[in-house]
């Protein structure tokens, strides 16, 4: 019984294989006309796109000058600007104080605006350490704004640690951009 079943399976598989072999691939159509030459492709006109990179802004320039009035960086809502930090530090750098003061001026002029100060870190360090560092950065920016006269109930802080990077590179430029506080209107 087993040998008959085995023979039937073997015969069936041979028949299926033979049908595939006999059928082969589909035949290609043979062209009946001579091949026509391909039309020449016109030369592509090169367009001068100039320098593809936008203008650069120094972190220590005056961000609230007329030339920089519409700059928006990171997740910060304009015309406010983010504040950048040194590696493993949460104190506001001297070259970033003008940015915080400009953000304070905006908040003073728009008294109904409530913001979230989002502390961010680069990828180096543990998740727990970076969450705590991001919180210290956000708290220091909040204290600075409060010292400028912005009411406490208009300033909320949140730490994202290393969870929301702007740049995903593993170099100093990327890390420097990711060590920041963003100012987001709620």
What domains does the chain contain, in order, with CATH numbers?
78-185 (3.30.1330.60)
Q: By C-alpha distance, which of 59, 105, 72 is closest to 182?
A: 72
Higher pLDDT, 163 or 28: 163
> How many angstroms separate the CA atoms of 92 and 78, rounded?
20
- Residue 158 reports pLDDT greater than 90: yes
Q: What tens digit of pLDDT does each residue of 112-141 get?
A: 999 999 999 999 999 999 999 999 999 999
Cβ-in-10-Å burial (0-12, 13-18, 19+) of 115 comes to buried
User: Any idea which of 62-66, 93-97, 142-146 has the lowest mean pLDDT?
Assistant: 62-66
User: How confident is the model at residue 136, as a pLDDT?
Assistant: 98
User: How confident is the model at residue 102, as a pLDDT?
Assistant: 97
> How many angstroms separate the CA atoms of 129 and 126, rounded?
5
- Residue 64 reports pLDDT greater than 80: no
User: How confident is the model at residue 41, as a pLDDT?
Assistant: 46
Calculate the alpha carbon distances from 78 to 22, 42, 74, 120 in Å. 72, 46, 10, 18
> How many angstroms separate the CA atoms of 113 and 37, rounded?
69
pTM of the full structure: 0.61
DSSP assignment letter at 59: T
User: How confident is the model at residue 75, as a pLDDT?
Assistant: 87
């Amino acid at each position: 019984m087993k040998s008959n079943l085995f023979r039937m399976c073997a015969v069936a598989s041979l028949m299926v294989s033979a049908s595939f072999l006999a059928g082969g691939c589909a035949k290609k159509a043979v062209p009946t006309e001579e091949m026509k030459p391909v039309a020449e492709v016109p030369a592509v006109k090169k367009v001068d796109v100039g320098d593809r990179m936008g203008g650069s802004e120094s972190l220590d320039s005056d961000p609230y000058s007329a030339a920089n009035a519409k700059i928006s960086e990171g997740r910060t809502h304009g015309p406010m600007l983010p504040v950048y930090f040194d590696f493993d530090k949460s104190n506001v750098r001297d070259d970033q104080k003008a940015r915080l003061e400009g953000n304070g001026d905006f908040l003073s002029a728009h008294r109904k605006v409530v913001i979230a100060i989002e502390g961010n870190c680069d990828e180096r360090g543990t998740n727990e350490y970076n969450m705590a560092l991001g919180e210290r950065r956000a708290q220091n920016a909040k204290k600075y704004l409060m010292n400028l006269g912005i009411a406490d109930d208009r300033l909320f802080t949140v730490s994202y640690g290393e969870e929301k990077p702007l740049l995903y590179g593993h170099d100093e430029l990327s890390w420097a951009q990711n060590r920041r506080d963003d100012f987001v209107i709620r």
